C-alpha cells in the first residue's frame, strides 16, 4: 500500500527529527488515524521525497524521524509558465490543479480587462496563498516533489513590461491561423497565455502580440478557459514533452 504523502516546508535530512505542520499532523492522526511507528512520505519542494516514521504524538502535535531520501524524477522536460487570466468561482482552482498535474513549471495570475474577479491588497494576498495551497495539494496527489510557485497578481501590461525570457510565447486564440502541431519543438522555456471567461480583449491581444506572443488555436471549437489550459498543456506534453 502506498504511503501517505504530505508537504512539509521544513529542512528535511536523513536522521533529523521534525514536527509536522499542524494541518498535516491533524490529517495524519485524526483523519487517517495514523499512530506512532507508522510511516509516511514527506516532501518540501527540493525535488526529493523523504520517508519518515512517526515517533510521538502529543496534544495534536506529531514528531517524525526522517529516514531514506528518495530523488523524484518525474518533472516534465518542458518548463512551461502558465500566464492565466483570473477566472471566477472554482474555475481558477480547477485550472491550477490540473496544470500542476500536467507538469506546469510556474503560474502567473493575470488581472485581465474581462476578469470578473478583481483582487487587490489583502484580498489578493489571501487568494494567492489559497492558490498556492491548491498547487501543494495537487503536488501531494500527483507525486511531484517540486512545487510550482504562484506569482503575485499583475495586470497584463505590467507583466509583459517585465521582459520575461522565453524561447516560445504562445497566446491561445480561437481565430489564430496556426495550431501547436505546426510549430517546431522549442529549445527553451515556454510561456502559455490564456484569457479568462470572455477571453482577452482585442487591445490585450495586440499588446501580447507586440511582445512576440504567437497566437495559436486548439482545434475548431471554442474552449472554456479551464478547458483551454488543460488541453494546451496536454497537447504540448504529447508533442514535445513526456506523454
pLDDT per residue as tens digits for the range 96-112? 999 999 999 999 999 99
pLDDT digits (tens, 9 = 90+) for 62-87: 999 999 999 999 999 999 999 999 99
Which residues lie closer than 8 Å to 177 by C-beta, 6 or more apart? 215, 217
What's phi and psi for 216, nearest 5 deg?
Answer: -140, 155
pLDDT digits (tens, 9 = 90+) for 157-204: 999 988 778 999 999 998 899 999 999 999 999 999 999 888 899 999
Report the CATH fold assignment for 5-71: Ribosomal Protein L25; Chain P (2.40.240)
CATH class held by domain 80-240: alpha beta
- Report the pLDDT value the prediction gives residue 1, as an integer from 0 to 100: 43
- Report the pLDDT value the prediction gives residue 242, as an integer from 0 to 100: 94
Sequence spans of domains, the chain? 5-71, 80-240
pTM for the full predicted model: 0.92
- Report the pLDDT value the prediction gives residue 201, as an integer from 0 to 100: 92
- Mean pLDDT for the chain overall: 93
Amino acid at each position: 500500500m502506498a504511503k501517505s504523502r504530505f508537504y512539509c516546508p521544513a529542512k528535511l535530512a536523513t536522521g533529523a527529527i521534525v514536527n509536522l505542520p499542524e494541518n498535516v499532523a491533524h490529517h495524519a492522526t485524526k483523519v487517517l488515524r495514523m499512530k506512532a511507528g507508522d510511516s509516511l512520505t514527506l516532501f518540501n519542494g527540493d525535488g526529493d521525497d523523504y520517508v519518515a516514521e512517526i515517533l510521538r504524538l502529543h496534544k495534536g502535535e506529531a514528531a517524525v524521524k526522517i529516514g531514506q531520501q528518495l530523488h523524484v524524477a518525474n518533472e516534465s522536460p518542458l518548463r512551461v509558465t502558465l500566464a492565466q487570466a483570473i477566472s471566477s468561482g472554482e474555475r481558477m482552482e480547477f485550472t491550477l490543479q490540473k496544470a500542476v498535474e500536467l507538469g506546469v513549471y510556474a503560474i502567473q495570475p493575470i488581472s485581465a480587462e474581462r476578469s470578473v474577479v478583481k483582487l487587490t491588497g489583502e484580498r489578493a494576498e489571501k487568494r494567492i496563498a489559497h492558490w498556492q495551497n491548491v498547487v501543494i495539494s495537487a503536488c501531494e496527489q500527483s507525486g511531484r516533489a517540486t512545487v510550482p510557485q504562484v506569482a503575485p497578481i499583475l495586470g497584463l501590461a505590467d507583466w509583459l513590461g517585465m521582459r520575461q525570457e522565453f524561447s516560445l510565447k504562445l497566446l491561445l486564440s480561437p481565430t489564430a491561423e496556426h495550431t501547436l502541431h505546426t510549430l517546431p519543438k522549442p529549445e527553451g522555456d515556454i510561456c502559455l497565455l490564456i484569457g479568462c471567461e470572455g477571453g482577452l480583449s482585442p487591445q490585450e491581444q495586440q499588446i501580447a502580440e507586440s511582445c512576440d506572443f504567437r497566437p495559436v488555436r486548439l482545434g475548431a471549437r471554442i474552449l472554456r478557459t479551464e478547458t483551454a489550459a488543460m488541453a494546451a498543456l496536454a497537447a504540448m506534453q504529447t508533442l514535445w514533452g513526456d506523454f
